[in-house]
């Protein structure tokens, strides 16, 4: 709960500190969605876990501003080690890593892509977003658990979820192709 309060605090601090222009809206305009959905249908795709799908909602509406998508390795390390990310020379509180995991096979496929764009699908298999400028890096699971929760015990439900996820993380910028009412309806039904 304290971490969620810190995330909300980060957005409020961003608003109060003059970084209000940095509050991002990653949702694609409804009139442009068909074009992006057609493009995404031709891309390598990765399925989002339930938690990652919820992060897409948080990111899309700017609640994790100034992030523009899942964390890159640099952002992840800043968040994990300092509970902040550095944006334009300013420290912005970001104590919780917002990451997307993938497998070794996914990493190898992404590494071969000329244009580093990936379609992200929701738990129901439908395309929800495009991740561009994809960057794959090692998922240091024990370090992530220890730095986020202060423990690494494998029976903790969230740590178990981390340990069961892919051995790699993929970060990059998001273009969200569904509206927040769609994500909220799915989250509420789950």
Record the pTM. 0.85
In the CATH scheme, what is the code of domain 24-82+97-189? 3.10.400.10
Given this model, what pLDDT does residue 7 score? 47
Condensed to tens digits (0 to 9), the pLDDT of residues 14-55 reads 445 555 556 899 999 999 999 999 999 999 999 999 999 999
- Compute the average pLDDT of residues 142-164: 96
User: b/e for 72-105, b at 16 or more Cβ within 10 A?
Assistant: beebbbbbbeebebebeeeebbbbbbbbbbbeee
Q: Which sequence spans correspond to the domains of the chain?
A: 24-82+97-189
- Compute the average pLDDT of residues 139-161: 96
Confidence of residue 180 (pLDDT cuts 50, 70, 90): confident
């Amino acid at each position: 709960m304290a971490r969620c309060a810190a995330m909300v605090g980060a957005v409020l601090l961003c608003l109060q500190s003059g970084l209000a222009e940095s509050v991002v809206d990653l949702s694609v305009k409804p009139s442009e969605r068909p074009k992006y959905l057609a493009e995404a249908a031709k891309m390598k795709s990765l399925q989002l876990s339930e938690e990652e799908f919820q992060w897409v909602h948080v990111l899309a509406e700017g609640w994790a501003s100034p992030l523009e998508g899942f964390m890159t390795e640099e952002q992840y390390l800043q968040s994990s080690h300092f509970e902040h990310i550095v944006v334009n020379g300013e420290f912005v509180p970001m104590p919780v890593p917002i990451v997307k995991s993938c497998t070794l096979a996914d990493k190898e496929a992404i590494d071969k892509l000329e244009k580093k764009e990936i379609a992200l699908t929701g738990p129901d298999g439908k395309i929800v977003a495009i991740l561009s400028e994809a960057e794959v890096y090692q998922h240091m699971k024990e370090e992530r658990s220890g730095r986020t929760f202060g423990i690494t015990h494998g029976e903790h439900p969230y740590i178990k979820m981390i340990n069961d996820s892919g051995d790699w993380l993929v970060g990059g910028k998001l273009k969200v192709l569904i509206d927040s009412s769609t994500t909220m309806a799915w989250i509420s039904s789950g």
